[in-house]
Amino acid sequence: MLNATLFGQMITFSVFVWVTYRYVMPPIQKALQAREVKISEGLQAAQAGQAALAQAEKEVEALIEEAHQKIKEQLNAADAKVSKMMEQARAEGNDLKQQLVESASIEIEQHQRQAQQALQTHLAQHVSQALERILSGQITPEMHKHLLSQLTNTSEDHS
């Protein structure tokens, strides 16, 4: 009996295994294969995403570096423009200063000439008056001293 029971159990177990492999295992294997394909696709997508992320990071770094370079160029251009404008303003200021100095020098020379001419005219008038008095014989020694002191005081006042 033990042998028949064991044999019956073996047949039942064999039928169970056959039914399981025939009807139960194919859907489980399909589900496992589908899950394996999904996982594989997910891993490939993750790797592609990581590669795209790395590429995007490189592009961002390149764009940032390009922006920094453009900013440096613009700053250098602005510095050069400011330097040029300052140099131009300095040159214009020097030109204006030179013009003002020349104009003032000319004006001073004109005033000096006018003052000199006025003094010469004034001196000529005094000399002429003195000569008229001398020639007319109206000058006494006291008047001579008085005229000389007047001429001296007048010429000192105009200096």
How many H-runs (helices) and E-runs (strands) does the chain carry? Answer: 3, 0
What is the model's pTM? 0.44
- For residue 25, the tally of other CB atoms under 10 A from its CB is 13
Check pLDDT > 70 for residue 159: no
* Three-state SS at 139: coil
Residue 126's nearest CA partner among 153, 147, 101 is 147
pLDDT one-digit tens code per residue, 42-51: 999 999 999 9
pLDDT one-digit tens code per residue, 55-113: 999 999 999 999 999 999 999 999 999 999 999 999 999 999 999 999 999 999 999 99
Per the model's pLDDT, the better-predicted residue between 122 and 65 turns out to be: 65
Q: Do 150 and 126 touch, CB atoms closer than 8 A?
A: yes
